[in-house]
Structure 1
Amino acid sequence: MTASLKPVSSAPASVADEARAILARLGVPESAFASTGRPALSPITGEVIAHVRETTPDEAKAAIGRADAAFKAWRKVPAPKRGEFIRLLGEELRAAKDDLGRLVTLEAGKIVSEGLGEVQEMIDICDFAVGLSRQLYGLTIATERADHRMMETWHPLGVCGVISAFNFPVAVWSWNAALALVCGDSVVWKPSEKTLLTALATHAIVERAAKRFGGVPEGLCEVLLGGREIGEILVEDHRVPVLSATGSTAMGRQVGPKLAERFARAILELGGNNAAIVAPSADLDLALRGIAFAAMGTAGQRCTTLRRLFVHESVYDQLVPRLVKVYGSVKIGDPRAEGTLVGPLIDKAAFDNMERALDEARAAGGKVHGGGRYTDVANEGVYARPALVEMPSQTGPVTRETFAPILYVMRYSDFDEVIALHNAVGAGLSSSIFTLNLREAEAFVSAAGSDCGIANVNIGPSGAEIGGAFGGEKETGGGRESGSDAWKAYMRRATNTINYGSTLPLAQGVKFDVDA
C-alpha cells in the first residue's frame, strides 16, 4: 500500500490510525489509494486520513457502459432472486455495522450513535427491499371490451445514477440502491467528494455480498470518485434513465434541467428549511426534547434539521428560556467521546456560512444565544456552538436554509397565521407541530396545513423511518426515496391489453371495418 494511508498526525488518538484499521478490516483494496489523489479529511481533527485515487472521465464513461450491460442481464433475473442478493447485502452490513458506523463518525463527524444509526438505516432498507422483491405488482383493470383483459406491468428502467451528499454518506445510497437493485436496475454511485472512504468501504461490502450470491453481472454496482466533473458525466449520459441527486437547491437547479433536457427521470432530494409549531396545549417537556434533537443533531447538518420554530405567545416564556439553557449546556466535542451530542461541522466554509447568517440575523433585530467557534477541543476540527436566535419576524436569513446548527424562534398568536408563515418559504421537506389539540393536529396534516412532504405531530421534523416515502415538495425537488411506493420511480409502467376472443371490438365504440 502506498504511503497515502499513513497517519499524518502525531496525535495519540489519531483518526487516520483508526480509519486505516477499519478500511483494512472492511477489505478496501490498496488500488483505491494514491499518494497524489484527492485527500480524504476528517472533520474531527482536520487531518488527512488518506489520498484517494479519483475516477477519470474516461473511466466514468466506461463504468456507465458496464452498468448498462449489467442491467440488460440483471433485468432477466427473477425479482425474488434479486431480493436474495439484497438479503445477503443486509447480512454483510450487519456484520460490518460497528466498523462502517465508526467510519461514518470519523469521516462525516457524526456522533457514534448517529453513525451506527445510519448503517442501521441501510440494514432496514435491505429488509424492506427483500420483501418488496415479491411485491412488484401491477393492477388488473376492468375493460369495456368483451373477451379482453387489461392490466399493468412494471419493468426495470435501466441504469440508476445516485449522487449523494456528505451528511448521509452511506444511507442515501442504500435507499436508492436496495430498491433499484430489486427492481432490476444497475446502480452507478457518485458519492460526495467529502466522504469518499465510506463509499469505498460500502462498495467493498457490496462486493462481498456479490461473491456470496454468485452470478452478479460485472458492473451491476459501480462507484465514481471525484468532483463536479464526474457528477456531470453521470447527469448527462443518456444511458442513465433515472438519477437520484441529494444536495442543495442550487445543485438541483443545475441538475434538474439537464435531466429534463434528455427526458431522464429525476429523483431530487434538495434543501429543507424545516419548521415546527409549538401550540398552547403542547406537552412542553416532550417538545423541548424533540426540538433539541431536531435542531442540534448532526450539528445541524441534516436536510431535515429544524431551522424555524414558531411558539405560541401563551407558552413562549415557559419554553424558550428552557431551550436557551439546553443550548448553553449541550456537550460539544469529539463525536467519539461518550456523552458528546454535537460534533464538528464538515469544514470551515460551513462555519463561515453560519457566522454570516448570524450577523444578518443580528442586523434584522435577532437576539442570538450561543453561536461562535467552540475551541475547547484538543484538535484542529471546526466546532461551533449551536445558536438559538429569537427573531422579531420571519425575514432575512430565516427564509433560507443555512446548513449549520441555527434555530430561529418566533412568536405567533393565530393558528391560520402560523400555517401561512410555516409555508411561506421555498423549501418543503419536513415539518411538525407539538399539540394535544386534535383539531390543530388534523388541520396541520390536512390539505390546508403543512405543504411539506413530511408532516409530523408531537415529534420533530428529523429522523424519518425507512417505511415511509422520504422527500419533499417545492424547492426540495419533489423526489421520493425509501419506503411506501417509492420503488415505482425505478421502474417503467406498461399497460397491457390482451384479446383472447375472435372479434376485434374497439374502445369507445369506434367502428373501423375493412375487408380482410
Structure 2
Amino acid sequence: MKQAIDEMPMTKAIADVLQQLGIKELNPAYSTGLNWGGENNKTTRDIHSPADGNLIASVNMATADDYEQVVKTAQEAFKVWRTVPAPKRGEIVRQISNKLREHKEALGKLVSYEMGKILQEGLGEVQEMIDICDFAVGLSRQLHGYTMHSERPQHRMYEQYHPLGIVGVISAFNFPVAVWSWNAMLAAVCGDVTIWKPSEKTPLTAIACQHIIRDVLAENDLPEGIFSVIIGDAEIGSLMAHDTRVPLVSATGSTRMGKKVGEAVGARLGKSLLELGGNNAIIITEHADIEMALRAVVFGAVGTCGQRCTSTRRLIVHENVYDQVRDRLLKIYPNLPIGHPLSDTTLVGPLIDKDAVKAFLNALEEVQGEGGKLLIGGEVLEGEQYATGTYVTPAIVEAENHYHMVQEETFAPILYLIRYSGDVENAIDIQNGVKQGLSSSIFSTNLLETEAFLTHWGSDCGIANVNIGTSGAEIGGAFGGEKDTGGGRESGSDAWRIYMRRQTNTINYSRELPLAQGIKFDIG
C-alpha cells in the first residue's frame, strides 16, 4: 500500500491536505471519537477521486461485530452526556466550530477532491458545518417547553423535552460532511450521541471530521462514543435501521433507499428522519427578471454537476418568454468551464463515478424516445484531462412534464425545458405534478403571481422560493420536503425537536386529588 501511495501522481497540495487531516494510506473501519478500531478487517475499499482517477486512500470496511462495539460504546456515552447541562454541551459544539474554522480550507479541498464538487462548493459545505455549529450553540440555551393552565385547582402543567438517546445518521456522497453536521450538532446540544454511517463512496471526509473533533473531546475529558463513525456498506445501514437501541435514524439519499430505512424503522416503531429525492422546478413567468432567473437556473442545474437533491431539474417557462430563455441558455451552456474541481476556473466538475454517467446517458436516451428533444449537451468528454470518463456536458432537453423520465430524479446535469401558457396556476400545477416535493422556485416581479405561489394551494414543496433558485438553502430554516422526499426536516428552525422526546408533566400542589373532566371516584 505504501508503494502505491508514493507512486500516485497526486499533487503536493492534496498530499498536504491528507496529512493535515490525518488520512492514512489505509484507514480504520470505525471511530468512537477518541479511539479507532477495525484496523485488521479483511475487507477494504479503495477510494479514487472522480476528478482524476487517482487513488486517494483506502479504508477498512466495518463488520457486524464492529457495529455492536460502536453501539455499546455510544450507549455508555449517552449515560454521561445527557447529564451535562445543555449550555455546557453547546460549549463543546462551539469548540468544534472553532476546529472546523482552523481546518476549513483543507477539509473543503478534500470534499472537492473526494466527491468532485468544485472547490467553492467544497468550502461552502464546510462553512455550512460551521454555521450549524453556531446555530446549535445558541440553541443550547433555548430548548424550551411550554406551560399551560390546568382545569384542576392548585395544579400546574408543563411540557419539557429530554434527550432521545442514540441518533443514527446515514449520509449521502453528494454532501459528505454537511448533512452529518446538521444532525450531529443539533443532536449533541439536545443531549444525544450520534453514530454516523457515511456513504461508502466518500468515507475519507468523515474520517477527517473525526480527527478534527477528537482533540475537543480529549481536551474536555469527555467519554468516547458521543460522536462515532462507522465505515461500511448497506449491511451496516440495515443493522442501524433495525436496531431498537437507535431510537432515531436520519437517512439522506434516494427515495428507494429511504423507503427501506423507513419501513425497517417504522416496523419497530422508531423515529425516522428522511431526506430523499427531489425533482425541483423553477417557474419563469412573463413578468420575470430573465437575466437574474438565468443565473439561478444555471447554478441550480449544473452546480455539483447536478448531484444535489435541490438541483434544478425542470424549468417551466411561460410561452411569451420561452424562446428568449431557451436561446440564452443555449448561448451560456457551451461556455461553462468543465474540468478538475480544484481548478479556480472550473464551474462544472465530474460525476461521482461511471455508474452515474451511465444513468445520465440512459436518461437522455429514454426521454428522447418519449419525444423529448435534446438541445445541447449529453456527451461524455474524452481526452487526457477527462480520462476518468466521469466528465459530461450538461444537457438541456425540451420535454413535457408527463414523460416518465421527467417524472423521475436523475442525479446528473439534465435540465428539462417545459413550456406553459395562461395563468401562473397552470405553471404551479405542472410543478406540483411529480411525486417529489423538496424545493421549488418562481421568478416574477408580479406580486399576485408570487403570492399565489406561496399559498396553501401553491407550491406543495417543503421549500418554496421567490426570485432565488432551488439550490442553496441556509441553515436558519428547516430543510426538507414532502411526498416522496420523505417529510423530514433537518438543520434550523425547530428541527431540534425530533432529536428529543416530549414529556407532559402535571404537578398537584394541593392536599386534594381532583380528577380531570370532573370524574368522581370515591373509594370511601
* The 10-residue stretch of structure 1 (251-260 or 24-33) with the greater mean CA deviation from structure 2: 24-33
Within 5 A, what are the aligned runs for 1:115-264? Answer: 115-212=122-219, 214-264=220-270
CA-to-aligned-CA distance 1:380-436 (integer Å, 9 cap, x gap)? 331000001111453121011000000000110132222111111111110000011
Closer, same or farther in 2 for the Cα pair 1:298/1:153, shift >3 Å? same
Q: Structure 2 residue aligned with 1:26, among 21, 28, 48?
A: 21
Structure 2: how far apart are the matches of 1:279 and 1:346? 34
Residue 378 of structure 1 deviates from its aligned partner by 1.7
What residue in structure 1 maps to residue 5 of structure 2? 6
What residue in structure 2 maps to residue 62 of structure 1? 69
What residue in structure 2 maps to residue 513 of structure 1? 522
Structure 2: how far apart are the matches of 1:433 and 1:160? 36
* The 10-residue stretch of structure 1 (388-397 or 62-71) with the greater mean CA deviation from structure 2: 388-397
Identity of aligned residues (%): 55
Structure 2: how far apart are the matches of 1:30 and 1:282? 52
What residue in structure 2 maps to residue 436 of structure 1? 445
Within 5 A, what are the aligned runs for 1:457-476? Answer: 457-476=466-485
What residue in structure 2 maps to residue 333 of structure 1? 339
What residue in structure 2 maps to residue 496 of structure 1? 505
Aligned to 1:6, what secondary structure does the other structure show? helix
* Partners of 1:36 and 1:51 within 8 A in 2: no
Closer, same or farther in 2 for the Cα pair 1:335/1:31, shift >3 Å? closer
* The 10-residue stretch of structure 1 (397-406 or 502-511) with the greater mean CA deviation from structure 2: 502-511
The code of the aligned residue for 2:171 comes to S
Q: Structure 2 residue aligned with 1:316, among 314, 322, 326?
A: 322
Closer, same or farther in 2 for the Cα pair 1:4/1:36, shift >3 Å? farther
CA-to-aligned-CA distance 1:71-114 (integer Å, 9 cap, x gap)? 11110100000000000000000000000000001100111100
Structure 2: how far apart are the matches of 1:139 and 1:352? 53
The code of the aligned residue for 1:21 comes to D
What residue in structure 2 maps to residue 112 of structure 1? 119
Closer, same or farther in 2 for the Cα pair 1:192/1:376, shift >3 Å? same
Structure 2: how far apart are the matches of 1:251 and 1:8? 38
Within 5 A, what are the aligned runs for 1:243-322? Answer: 243-322=249-328
Aligned to 1:123, what secondary structure does the other structure show? helix
Q: CA RMSD in A?
A: 1.5
Residue 55 of structure 1 deviates from its aligned partner by 1.5
Structure 2: how far apart are the matches of 1:177 and 1:76? 18
CA-to-aligned-CA distance 1:301-336 (integer Å, 9 cap, x gap)? 000000011000011111111011111111101111
* Partners of 1:176 and 1:482 within 8 A in 2: yes
* The 10-residue stretch of structure 1 (470-479 or 357-366) with the greater mean CA deviation from structure 2: 357-366
Gapped runs of 5+ residues in structure 2?
Answer: 29-38
* Partners of 2:158 and 2:506 within 8 A in 1: yes
Closer, same or farther in 2 for the Cα pair 1:242/1:8, shift >3 Å? farther
Structure 1: how far apart are the matches of 2:165 and 2:86? 15
Closer, same or farther in 2 for the Cα pair 1:301/1:30, shift >3 Å? closer
Matched, 1:40 2:47: yes
Structure 2: how far apart are the matches of 1:198 and 1:428? 29
Closer, same or farther in 2 for the Cα pair 1:36/1:161, shift >3 Å? closer
Closer, same or farther in 2 for the Cα pair 1:343/1:377, shift >3 Å? farther
Gapped runs of 5+ residues in structure 1?
Answer: none
Closer, same or farther in 2 for the Cα pair 1:420/1:377, shift >3 Å? farther
CA-to-aligned-CA distance 1:34-78 (integer Å, 9 cap, x gap)? 796211111001222111112121011110111111111110100
Structure 2: how far apart are the matches of 1:168 and 1:363? 32
The code of the aligned residue for 1:281 comes to H
* Partners of 2:24 and 2:57 within 8 A in 1: no
CA-to-aligned-CA distance 1:439-493 (integer Å, 9 cap, x gap)? 1111111100111100000001100000000000000001110000000010000
Aligned to 1:289, what secondary structure does the other structure show? helix
What residue in structure 2 maps to residue 482 of structure 1? 491
* Partners of 2:49 and 2:114 within 8 A in 1: yes
Residue 146 of structure 1 deviates from its aligned partner by 1.2
Aligned to 2:157, what secondary structure does the other structure show? strand
Residue 218 of structure 1 deviates from its aligned partner by 1.6
Structure 1: how far apart are the matches of 2:254 and 2:160? 35
Aligned to 2:385, what secondary structure does the other structure show? coil
Aligned to 1:169, what secondary structure does the other structure show? coil
**May I ask how many residue pairs the two structures share in their alignment?**
509
Structure 1: how far apart are the matches of 2:3 and 2:251? 30
* Partners of 1:44 and 1:380 within 8 A in 2: no
Structure 2: how far apart are the matches of 1:192 and 1:120? 20
Structure 2: how far apart are the matches of 1:63 and 1:31? 20
The code of the aligned residue for 2:94 comes to R
Structure 2: how far apart are the matches of 1:30 and 1:44? 19
Aligned to 1:402, what secondary structure does the other structure show? coil
* Partners of 2:43 and 2:61 within 8 A in 1: no
Residue 115 of structure 1 deviates from its aligned partner by 0.3
The code of the aligned residue for 1:330 comes to L
Structure 2: how far apart are the matches of 1:286 and 1:30? 46
What residue in structure 1 maps to residue 108 of structure 2? 101
Aligned to 2:249, what secondary structure does the other structure show? strand
What residue in structure 2 maps to residue 362 of structure 1? 368
What residue in structure 2 maps to residue 410 of structure 1? 418
CA-to-aligned-CA distance 1:152-181 (integer Å, 9 cap, x gap)? 000000000000000000000000000000
Structure 2: how far apart are the matches of 1:31 and 1:422? 47
Residue 379 of structure 1 deviates from its aligned partner by 4.6
* Partners of 2:197 and 2:231 within 8 A in 1: yes
Matched, 1:397 2:405: yes
Structure 2: how far apart are the matches of 1:237 and 1:314? 55
Structure 2: how far apart are the matches of 1:489 and 1:470? 13
Task: Give me the TM-score of the superposition, normalised by structure 1.
Answer: 0.96
CA-to-aligned-CA distance 1:205-256 (integer Å, 9 cap, x gap)? 11122123x1322211111101111111111111100010000000011111
